[in-house]
Amino acid sequence: MTRIPRLNPGCDVRTLPLTSAESRLVARIDGAAGEVDLARSTGLSESAVTAALVRLRDLGAVEMVEVASAPTQPKPAAGVASQSPLLAPSDPTPPWDPKELEEDVELDGERRRQILDAFHRLDRYSYYDLLGVHELSDKKQVKTAYYAVAPEFHPDKYFRKRLGAFKPKIEAIFTRLTLAHDVLTSRERRDQYDEYLDQLRRNRAAESVIEETRQDAAAVEAAVLEAAAGILEAAKAQAPAPEAVRARVQSAQERREALARKLLGGKKLPPRSVAASPDQPIVYEAAQVDPETMRQRYEEALATARREQVVRFRESATAAVERKDYAAASNAYRIAASLAPDDEELQALSDEAEHLAAAGLAEGFLKQAEYEARQERWGEAAMSYGKVCLGRPNDAKAHDRVALCTMKMPGGNMRRAVEFGRRAVELAPTVAEYRVTLARAYIEAGLEKSAMAELDRAEELAPKDAKLKELISQTKVQAAQRKSK
Amino acid sequence: MERVIGIDLGTTNSCVAIVEDGVPTVIPNRGGYKTTPSMVAVTEAGKRLVGHIAKRQAITNAENTVYAAKRLIGRKWSSPQVKNAVLTASYKIIEGPHGDVRIQLRDKTYSVPEISAMVLQEMKVCAEDYLSEPVSKAVVTVPAYFNDTQRQATKDAGQIAGLDVIRIVNEPTAAALAYGFGKTMEKTIAVFDLGGGTFDISVLEIGAGGVFKVIATAGDTFLGGEDFDARIIDWLVQGFKDQHGVDLRQDRMALQRLKDAAEKAKCELSTVTETEINLPFIISSGRNEALHLQRVLTRSTLESLCEDLVERCIEICKQTLEDARLDRDEVEDVVLVGGMTRMPRVQDSVKEFFGREPSKGVHPDEVVALGAAVQGSALVDETKQMILLDVTPHALGIMTFGSNFEELIPQNTTVPTARSKIFTTSRDRQTAVKILVMQGEHQKATENELLGEFILTGLRSAPKGQVEIEVTFEINSDGIVSVSAKDLENGQQQSIQVTASSGLTKEEVGRMMEDAKEYMVERQSSDEFEGLKQEAEKLIGDIERMFPQVEQIVASSDFGRDAIGKARGIVEKARAAIVKRDSAAVKEHMESLARTHRMFKGVVSRPHG
Ligand SMILES: Nc1ncnc2c1ncn2[C@@H]1O[C@H](COP(=O)(O)OP(=O)(O)OP(=O)(O)O)[C@@H](O)[C@H]1O
Ligand SMILES: [Mg+2]
């Protein structure tokens, strides 16, 4: 008997806060490979694979299936058989205007549809998805996949054909496919891209954990109330719990467990209390309890429920801190704190965790922003740097970068550039570079006078830096030109 | 489907090929040779000669014989390469009207594309003779390291020659296409192409399904057999000066003989280790005595004379592998292309560098043309499953503040590719923006090749920064750059004209095309004349042979005597027309000749007596 992990079809692994080792593992799970195979194909140690699988199972991403014997033949490596989604049959509900099909070009209908589908789906896919390969596919597999899809979208396939508006689309698809190939076949660029993808996922997951805290806190409170109410009502009815209550208790419980799974990030669920699971009979008291006692009991039950929840969430918060998962910790602390509003220590802990979470998130966004800026995706970079600033309100450089990227993006909001540029200068008044950025933002916004003033100060601050000096004098010329006209 | 020929327009030799029944085949020229010297000459009588005949008369007509024109194509008059060529070439190179280069042959000057067009035209005619049908489409190859101006000029040459150049392909890439043609393999190969004028190295991947992807390419457009020859010439000239105190360079004819001898010696030394260079009566001394040149050149002397040239090739290979991020042992095969790779020293260095025996599977002189033909047929034939993904050999960018080079499209980017950049006005009411487009790898813009400058005009008069123009820089599959601009505000396409700083204008190309066509008419009619002449001479010969017999038979009658007199008249007239090379007149007399011929035949075959 061997245990084989299978992907849980109902779970979107993309939304989970996975480490890069875990995502690699996920990519290799094909329903046939056992733990040993996975260790071999991922290059991870067997114990690491086991540990990761446990976590993945707890996250609901995989389930372990017992099979009679290990498959003797190793399955072909993942990624060989798959192909680019751009070659797949068209979308049933195309995201493009059917009018585009009517253009007078020398392409048959099927081709037109394929090109439009591909073009409008480009931004949906990561480079891996675009080529239809896994994150673990090797260079050769990436190339094979690229060679299969790229010729379909190479302009030479339509040599001297009238293509109209389809031409730039074909070229855009080809260029993107080639970029994906180039990035994924260069060790260095692929590592950077992987890191970026990891970072992106982690940032998204962390962000959503934090965003959901409020909702989660409400859910917990509701669960507590419901649990207590269940007890009360059951007692009132002097009878085994009616279906309705059981159902309500159950639904509250499910929600709670789902939440707990998310918060605990793979740790075992703490022992259930208060609302026992439906298959464990709840002990209901006999009849004839007077209302006052009932109320007291209810209050007690409620308080106990609260306390226990506080303990649970504190525990999971501490565990999260240990894991350095500050987003989860902050979330758990916040819920705990909301259940015990008078506990000052808890409030302080919650604040600190929140602080750490924001800083951690900022760190993540910084990495994301730096990659985006290197790729000259200015709009995205400006956004990500902006998120860095949220976690690091005193980081001058991050503010400076928001201003710079905003200026570089087409259609950037110059007021935003000025705002962030100003903040950067406020935070680090002695850095000439930031003043130059601000000056340039001023120029873009039509405020030459302010620009000149900044440049003067920048010049005083950086009398030695030749390169900066040249930039300053150029910018001055620019400002002067604008002003004089 | 119209046939597409592939032409390798080489510095020294050109070659034409076609895919025939799915098989790439080299088309031999009229002399039966598979390659044709890229030489053009004008004789004293003003007759144009191309190929072998031009080469044969080069020594006696050195000043009016052009070789290695490819080294000049698309170059500026002011470039150091042209400066150097002016000093060493036996023909006259002068400055053209756009700061470009012109060549003086007798009383006429020609642009370099025109000279190349003559060679292309010759190749076209070869193909037409071979196929017995007109050919108008061609794929022409250029060195991978050619820049935009050089590519553009080569395209112009094709146009002047009356060819629709459907694609410009890089020579090493074409070689790879021929190498991989019809085989299924997944392989990384390097193509090392050392020809007469240029050196190219390309690293490619051949993928399943007929995909050829160039990973990196580099080279030197002024490094080839010509430079090896020059080293030998220098060595000979210096030795002669030391011995006789006479500078052979002063005499163009002597120089041409030296050049010939140097190349011959170089080629010989690829098979033997020692050769004698013997040029009697090379020049006369000041005292009017004839001097002879006689020297022994050994292979090892040649190798030491050219050591740095070979080293430069290897240096470039090293750099290219680095750019391709490949280790030497990841290259699974090395393909040698170009006549110079027959030199043992070159082969040894390549072998040593790549750590493997170079492939012997391809013919170094023909493989480029074959590949061009393969690409041509793949482009026009939709059933062909072959796609070529080539790269741009040079970075494309613009000049910015402080004459810095702002790179927009990096070197080795897969083409076709495009990159947009938004420009905005920097002054109020500014209505024009000037942009300088350049190609090259240097940080300093001035070190790079200026492709052209253009001015965006007719911008809306508005406060500064309000008008935004999106300029798109494009490199197409020919490696040729184009620029277009769009006013972002109203979406209007701005028309811009990149005027290549050393190219030909549209009008010039048009005029040259007309000239070339005229030459074709001329040439065709002379071909036609030759045919008529042969036919007429045969008839005349037959008639004359029959005269005595016919005279004997018919002399008795008046009618007979009259007929004989008429026949003599016809023959004389036809002769005169042949002497005058008047094909129309010959044609006119042909019928009477044929009639007389028939009549005579009838008379002599009739039984008499
Ligand atoms: N056996 C040989 N040994 C050495 N060199 C040779 C030999 N045969 C030819 N060459 C040289 O090779 C050169 C011509 O090569 P090739 O015909 O490949 O050049 P090309 O295609 O005309 O030039 P390019 O590709 O540079 O434009 C000449 O310099 C010639 O002297
Ligand atoms: Mg060649």
pLDDT tens digits, B79-116: 999 999 999 899 999 999 988 999 999 999 999 999 99
Q: How far is B473 from chain A (nearest CA, A)?
A: 13
pLDDT of residue B152: 92
Residues lower than pLDDT 70 in chain B:
401, 465, 489-492, 494-502, 607-609
Q: What is the pTM of this model?
A: 0.72
pLDDT of residue A65: 75
Question: Residues of A with CB below 8 A from B463's CB?
Answer: 446
Token readout for A399 is: 């503010």
Query: CA angle, A382 as apex, A379 and A383 as ends, to 5°?
Result: 90
> Which atom of ligand 1 has the smallest separation from the CA of B194?
26
Compare CB distances from A481 to B389, B418, B427 and report the shortest one's residue: B427
Pairwise CA distance, residues A407 & B423, whole Å: 13
Which residues on B lie below 8 Å from A485 (Cβ)? 427-430, 464
**Does the annotation mark B449 as catalytic?**
no
pLDDT at A51: 75
Using the beta-carbon criterion (under 8 Å), do A485 and B428 form an inter-chain contact?
A: yes
Helix (H) or strand (E) holding B560: helix B558-579
Report the 3 state secondary structure along A375-399. CCCHHHHHHHHHHHHHHCCCCHHHH
Cβ–Cβ of A155/B463 closer than 8 Å? no
The Cα–Cα gap between A390 and A362 comes to 7
Q: What is the pLDDT of residue B494?
A: 64
Q: Residue B133 has what pLDDT? A: 93
Distance CA B377, CA A214 (A): 66
pLDDT at A276 over 60: no
List % helix, strand, coil for chain A (3-state, nearest 5).
70, 0, 30
- The CATH architecture one would assign to domain A2-67 is Orthogonal Bundle (1.10)
| Class of the domain covering B394-498 | mainly beta
User: In chain B, which segments carry CATH 2.60.34.10?
Assistant: 394-498
Q: Give which of B14, B13, B16 is closest to B3, Cα–Cα.
A: B16
pLDDT for the residue A288? 59
Q: Do A157 and B418 touch (CB under 8 A)?
A: no
Q: What is the pLDDT of residue A316?
A: 85
Concatenating the DSSP letter of every residue in A294-313 gives HHHHHHHHHHHHHHHHHHHH
Identify the active-site residue in B114, B148, B193, B365: B193
- Tokens describing residue B38: 């890229």
d(CA B485, CA B469): 7
CA dihedral A263, A268, A270, A274 (to 10 degrees): 90
User: What CATH number does domain A78-211 carry, 1.10.10.10, 1.10.3720.10, 3.40.50.1100, 1.10.287.110?
Assistant: 1.10.287.110
Q: What is the pLDDT of residue A279?
A: 45
> Which of A131, A138, A147, A181 to mutate: most B Cβ within 10 Å?
A147
B461 close to B451: Cβ distance less than 8 angstroms: no
Each residue's pLDDT tens digit, B440-486: 988 888 888 888 887 777 777 877 767 777 888 889 888 888 888 87
B193 is catalytic: yes
CB B172 within 8 A of CB B184: no
| B171 given a catalytic annotation | yes
Q: Does the pLDDT at position A131 exceed 50? A: yes
Confidence (pLDDT) at A308: 83
Please indicate if any CB of chain A lies within 8 Å of the CB of B444. Answer: no
Q: Which of B13, B35, B55, B268 has most ligand 1 atoms within 8 Å of its beta carbon, as the pocket-test mutant?
A: B13
A-chain residues within 8 Å CB-CB of B207? Answer: 143-144, 146-147
| Share above pLDDT 90 across residues of chain A, in percent, rounded to a whole number | 22
In the predicted model, is pLDDT for residue A280 greater than 50?
A: no
From the CA of B270, give the closest atom in ligand 1.
Answer: 3
Tell which of B414, B426, B430, B469 to mutate to test the A interface (max A CBs under 10 Å). B414
Residue positions counted in chain A: 485
Q: Residue A273 — pLDDT band, cuts 50, 70, 90? A: very low
Please indicate if any CB of chain A lies within 8 Å of the CB of B422.
yes
pLDDT at res. B113? 96
Q: What class has domain A363-484? A: mainly alpha
> A95 in helix, strand or coil?
coil
pLDDT confidence of residue A94: 77
Q: Show Cβ contacts of residue B595 under 8 Å, excluding neighbours closer than 6 positions.
A: none
CB A275 within 8 Å of CB A230: yes
User: With contact defined as beta carbons under 8 Å apart, do A482 and A448 qualify?
Assistant: yes
Residues at CB less than 6 angstroms from ligand 1: B 10-13, 70, 171, 195-198, 224-225, 263, 266-267, 270, 338-340, 342-343, 365
> Is the interface score ipTM higher than 0.90?
no
CB contact under 8 Å between A156 and B418, yes or no, is no
Q: What is the mean pLDDT of residues A111-140?
A: 90
Q: Do A154 and B464 touch (CB under 8 A)?
A: no
Contact B387 A410 (CB under 8 A): no
Q: What phi and psi, each to the nearest 5 degrees, are found at residue B136?
A: -130, -15
B211 and A147 within 8 Å at the Cβ level: the answer is yes
CATH 1.20.140 maps onto chain B at: 506-605
pLDDT of A231: 64
Class of domain B4-224+308-389: alpha beta
DSSP state of B391: B
What's the pLDDT at A484? 67
Interface residue B510 vs chain A (CB under 8 A) = no
Instruction: Give the ligand with the smallest distance to the CA of B197.
Output: 1
Residue ranges of chain B assigned to CATH 3.30.420.40: 4-224+308-389
- Residue A241 pLDDT exceeds 50: no
CATH number of the domain at B506-605, please? Answer: 1.20.140
Residues 6+ apart with CB under 8 A from B94: B101, B102, B103, B104, B109
**Residue B135, pLDDT score:** 95
Domain boundaries, chain A: 2-67, 78-211, 213-358, 363-484
Q: How far is the centre of ligand 1, averaged over its atoms, from the C-alpha of A397 (Å)? A: 59
Which atom of ligand 1 lies closest to the CA of B365? Answer: 18
Beta carbons of B50 and B40 less than 8 angstroms apart: yes
Catalytic residue among B122, B148, B171, B390: B171
Is B173 within 8 Å of B479 (Cβ atoms)? no
